[in-house]
Structure 1
């Protein structure tokens, strides 16, 4: 069955970017440390990345994150989704208005203007269709940014939460959790590597 999985790297003090993020500095000052694990040669880091990419039938992201990854300093052949792992799922972008042009035109982009729940529904449908085509169970991933994942958790749209807890304190900027109703989590797995601690929870 297709699950909705929120998957994001976070600092020890709960931030998903460092100070002063922007189009030319997407992760903010010091924020690159959050994603060191994605480019690590540690076998457990590679396994976590490979398994998540292989499970991705569709991916949801917010408009600000899209503008960064599609911008001139965004994704390329070595830094795209999965950081070099094989796989190009459908990408669903939550936005009030679609962009006029897309630089990464070789990827499958859908722009949803009717809100986050509609985008999650579209991603689930795309992942289910991909599952039928491939013959294996695929999931829909929310890759961020932080506001998108926080809103999805608050709205009860998430089945599973995966945090990649990086050993860095960023001090300020984009927080992952900013309030809202309490959520009950059930820990499923913990994998510690040389670069990060991978935490997976079921969201009840």
Structure 2
């Protein structure tokens, strides 16, 4: 079991443009002829063979996903059915009024509590962090085992950074496993302790 963060990132370090747009970044999810289905039949990815192997590997082992309230709100909580197929732990100090009506979503008040709860839910499977801010805080708390970056050949110039505001930097990683995909280079880094 590992705790990891996987984000698609521009060459200049952004995971979204200033208006939360990801159109320039997510093109690799449709840049191939290999279908990788998600747990939600409404969503699938059309990627190249190498990206498909990476995606299958990352998606197959997830037992719980952690996000923040902002992403939860942007996606309407995935209607309590995240495409990855795993239960979701939302880190927030302000749970929504309908929190009790979402049996596959747990709301917690802090990052350490969120990771602990996600590990409980995941059992022997992995925990995936789907929030740049939570990934940053978890790195600073030494709770992340691996960082996965799908690096896209675009410069956004501004936006939401993946690794901004680290307080306990520098964080060091092992040499990456590099997977060259179409429209993205996937980098998997084990965190050094």
TM-score > 0.5 by shorter chain: yes
Match of 1:148 among 134, 137, 142: 134
Match of 1:57 among 41, 63, 83: 63
C-alpha separation between the residues in 1 aligned to 2:129 and 2:143? 10
Secondary structure of 1:185's partner?
A: coil
- Give the equivalent residue in structure 2 for 1:89: 86
Please say if residues 60 and 94 of structure 1, whose CA atoms lie closer than 8 Å, have aligned partners that are also in contact: yes
Q: Where does the alignment leave 5 or more consecutive residues of structure 2 unmatched?
A: 30-44
Q: Where does the alignment leave 5 or more consecutive residues of structure 1 unmatched?
A: 22-27, 83-87, 132-137
- Give the equivalent residue in structure 1 for 2:26: 35
- Give the equivalent residue in structure 1 for 2:147: 161
- Give the equivalent residue in structure 2 for 1:120: 115
Please say if residues 67 and 91 of structure 2, whose CA atoms lie closer than 8 Å, have aligned partners that are also in contact: yes
Q: Give the alignment of 1:3-22 within 5 angstroms.
A: 3-21=2-20
TM-score (norm 2): 0.82
Shift of 1:112: 0.6
Please say if residues 58 and 140 of structure 1, whose CA atoms lie closer than 8 Å, have aligned partners that are also in contact: yes
- Give the equivalent residue in structure 2 for 1:48: 54
TM-score (norm 1): 0.78
Secondary structure of 1:164's partner?
A: strand
C-alpha separation between the residues in 2 aligned to 1:33 and 1:149? 22
**RMSD of aligned Cα (Å):** 2.1
Shift of 1:80: 5.0
Please say if residues 19 and 170 of structure 1, whose CA atoms lie closer than 8 Å, have aligned partners that are also in contact: no
C-alpha separation between the residues in 2 aligned to 1:40 and 1:32? 15
Structure 1 runs (4+) deviating above 4 angstroms are none
- Give the equivalent residue in structure 2 for 1:68: 74
C-alpha separation between the residues in 1 aligned to 2:141 and 2:83? 25
In the comparison of the two structures, how many residue pairs are matched? 173
- Give the equivalent residue in structure 2 for 1:187: 175
